Amino acid sequence: MESFEVPAPSKVNYLNAQYGLKSWLLTRDHKRIALLYLGSVSLFFFIGGIYAMLIRLELLTPQSDLLSPTTYNKTFTQHGIIMIFFFLIPSIPATLGNFLVPMMIGAKDLAFPRINLLSWYIYIVAGIITLYALIAGGVDTGWTFYAPYSTTFSNSYVVLTGLGIFINGFSSILTGLNFIVTIHTMRAPGMTWFRMPLFLWAIYATSLIFILGTPVIAITVLLLAFERVARIGIFDPAIGGDPVLFQHLFWFYSHPAVYIMILPGMGVISELIANFSRKNIFGYSFVAFSSLAIAVFGFLVWGHHMFVSGQSVYASMIFSVLSFAVAIPSAVKVFNWTATLYRGSISYDTPMLYALGFIGLFTIGGMTGLFLASIAVDLHVTDTYFVVAHFHYIMVGGTLLAYLGGLHYWWPKISGRMYPEGWGRFSALVVFVGFNLTFLPQFVAGYLGMPRRYAAYPPEFQVFNVLSTAGASILGFGLLIPLIYLVWSMRYGKHAEANPWHLPGLEWRTPSPPPTENFPLTPIVTWEAYEFAPPEEMKIVGRVHRGQPLEGADTPVGGHS
């Protein structure tokens, strides 16, 4: 074995290297910044969740009784804004991505550590502005801000909320830029593009959308503010504008933003499926390139949000056919994940339960997307609960489940502690059941014609709403459990080994929690992604093996002399 030992790992890690508030607020360590994001993203998720519960409670009865229509309108608007801009978009990239991009490629940090910290501060400033707008009186335009309602008629804090979203965009752009540069320039020797874990391909594709798409929402929000404040006619036809233009600009960003939310989740699932079945991903390059295909095609389908808006028949047809096309790379991923399980060694640990749940829910979410891509059906179900159910299957059933699965999977590395496995499995099950009970009835209510964003609704829809509210309560309960035991485990959890799951990825070849510099020596990568070996081979910390066949593995590692 041509390898060498480094000094025994010290007890110093990134968590205890320095103490004090200042050491956190001025840190340039990507792992600490990831934790700052984890805390703030969780806080926003909690706020967004409270709005969700208010929505579900109001809709328990057909009348608008718990909340007045105005309050209800603000509630669903704020639920959407908080969840999309301050939870879903940053969730996986800024927490798991921040923590893992350098670790997975064998680097000490991201390319621009100070810019990384700046991203977090921008996010916090944006978050505070938005929260202030919500407390000061709120905003009632829907997260879509459709003009001219938002520019002319709404009597709420539109510009201030818009400012928050505008500023937040820069955080996304800087994070995306940082990831792209890091992945291009800082891969350890031997870490070729096609040896990268698929999570990194997904993060790379997401970063492309961040830097190409986010400027468009910034421009859109700016134009909206110009019209609202200075009455410059851009969108409102009463002063010479075009309201459909707003929808084009808004969806040109916001449809790709859907892929910002789901692609990192798909990356997490590729990791979970491969690692918890101890199999290399079936069709690695197809899964990798499908991420890029989704990122590219995702920019060409925005018009499918506008089939009823009065855009031309031919534009609608083209957007429809492209929307069907973008479904194919997603289908390819699902088939490859499933095929990966074939002849694997599948464990039922909590992260895997989340991954299996993801595949199921994402399949339903994706397939119902075909209903909406099909114009004739879309004309009937758009702006109804069918759409609400569809995108929650993607956003919650997809992204949130992937996020929770990833958080459990990497928790030993992040915190140095194990989470309680029994509670983990239990909560995964509760979340799955609660989720389906919440959103499955909404497909039916939607096809029956219940419009979304209704504070009051005809009584015939009540049965579906009662089911949804019951499901949401179960879902909320299921989400509280991990919140409690993860916090608990940080102090009382079992100490985690360096490689508790016995996996080949670089992030598992360094102590848990890792030292500030991640690896004592720059690793040299001689193995393919997901190349499993006996635990004694993969436990090696800071030690480098070269060109040696790993016992128990059928293919020799590396190819060179």
Subset of 305-344 contacting another protein (CB under 8 A): 308-310, 313, 316-317, 320-321, 324-325, 327-328, 331-332, 334-336, 338-339, 341-344
Q: How far is the CB of 126 from another protein (least distance, A)?
A: 24
34 and 95 Cβ atoms separated by less than 8 Å:
yes
The DSSP bridge partners found for residue 451 are 384
Q: Is 533 in the site for another protein (CB under 8 A)?
A: yes
Segment near another protein (CB under 8 A); pick from 101-109, 169-177, 237-245, 249-257:
237-245
CB atoms within 10 A of CB 99: 25
Binding characters for another protein, 53-72, by CB under 8 A (x = yes): -----------x----xx--
274: which residues sit within 8 A by CB, 6+ positions away? 198, 280, 281, 340, 529, 530
* Binding segment toward another protein, per CB under 8 A, in 94-102, 205-213, 260-268, 528-536: 528-536
Choice from 137, 189, 459, 535 touching another protein (CB under 8 A): 535
Exposed e or buried b for every residue in 309-337, given b needs 16+ CB within 10 A?
eebeeeebeebbebbeebbebbebbbebb
Cβ contacts of 43 within 8 Å, gap of 6 or more: none
Q: What angle do CA 376, 378, 382 make, to 5 degrees?
A: 150
Sign of CA dihedral 17, 18, 21, 26: negative
Tokens 């997975």 belong to residue: 104
**Which residue in 181, 244, 440, 481 binds another protein (CB under 8 A)?**
244
CB of 259 closer than 8 Å to CB of 295: yes
Q: How far is the CB of 367 from another protein (least distance, A)?
A: 4
3-state secondary structure of 384: strand
Closest CB to another protein among 365 and 520?
365
In the complex, what is the shortest distance from the CB of residue 531 to another protein, in angstroms, rounded to a whole number?
Answer: 7
CB of 393 to another protein, least distance (A): 11
Least gap, CB of 90 to another protein (angstroms): 26
The residue among 70 and 473 lying less far from another protein, judged by its C-beta, is 70
Shortest reach from residue 298's CB to another protein, in Å: 16
Report in angstroms how near the CB of residue 362 gets to another protein at its nearest: 10
**DSSP conformational letter for 303:** G
Q: How far is the CB of 47 from another protein (least distance, A)?
A: 22
Residue of 527, 425, 429 whose CA lies nearest to 194 = 527
Binding to another protein in span 257-276, by CB under 8 A: none
Both structure tokens of 2? 């041509």
Residue whose token pair is 């190819």: 559
Cis, peptide link before residue 500, omega less than 30° from 0: no
Q: Is 51 in the site for another protein (CB under 8 A)?
A: no
Which range, of 11-19, 173-181, 259-267, 375-383, touches another protein by CB under 8 A? 375-383
- Evaluated on CA atoms 530, 531, 532, 537, the torsion sign reads negative
Binding residues for another protein restricted to 166-225, rule: CB under 8 A: none
Closest approach of Cβ 72 to another protein, in Å?
8
Of residues 278 through 297, those in contact with another protein by CB under 8 A are 278-280, 282-286
Restricted to residues 445-464, the positions that interact with another protein (CB under 8 A) are 447-449, 451-458, 460, 463
Cβ proximity to another protein, 55 vs 167, nearer residue: 55
* x/- track of binding to another protein for residues 377-406 (CB under 8 A): x-xx-xxx----------------------
Which one of 18-26, 297-305, 389-397, 524-532 is the stretch in contact with another protein (CB under 8 A)?
A: 524-532
**One residue of 532, 544, 557, 558 binding another protein per CB under 8 A:** 532
Give the count of alpha carbons within 13 A of 60, CB side only: 14
Question: Closest approach of Cβ 429 to another protein, in Å?
Answer: 14
Tokens 């409690």 correspond to: 484
From the CB of residue 49, how many other CB atoms can be counted at a distance below 10 Å? 19
Structure tokens at 243: 């309201």
Kindly tell me which of 13 and 347 has the beta carbon lying closer to another protein. Answer: 347
Number of residues engaging another protein in binding (CB under 8 A): 100
In this structure, the number of other CB atoms found within 10 A of the CB of residue 370 comes to 13
313: amino acid identity, one letter: V
344's CB contacts (< 8 A; 6+ apart) are 277, 278, 279
Task: Choose one: 25-33, 297-305, 355-363, 395-403; the region binding another protein (CB under 8 A).
Answer: 355-363
Least distance (Å) from another protein to the CB of residue 62? 10
- CA separation, residue 549 to residues 180, 274, 351 (Å): 33, 21, 30
368 binds another protein (CB under 8 A): yes
Query: Nearer Cβ to another protein, position 135 or 238?
Result: 238
Residues within window 117-176 making contact with another protein, judged by CB under 8 A: 140-142, 144, 146, 148-149, 152-154
Q: Of residues 477-516, which lie at the interface with another protein (CB under 8 A)?
A: 502
Q: What is the DSSP string of 91-142?
A: IIIIIIIHHHHHHHHT-SS-S-HHHHHHHHHHHHHHHHHHHHHHHHT---ST
Q: Find the binder of another protein among 237, 459, 549, 556 (CB under 8 A).
A: 237
Please, which residues bridge with residue 384 across strands?
Answer: 451
Q: Which two tokens stand for residue 139?
A: 């905003």
User: Rounded to an integer, what distance in angstroms lies between the CA atom of residue 108 and that of residue 66?
Assistant: 53
Interface with another protein in residues 401-430 (CB under 8 A):
none
Smallest separation, CB 363 to another protein (Å): 5
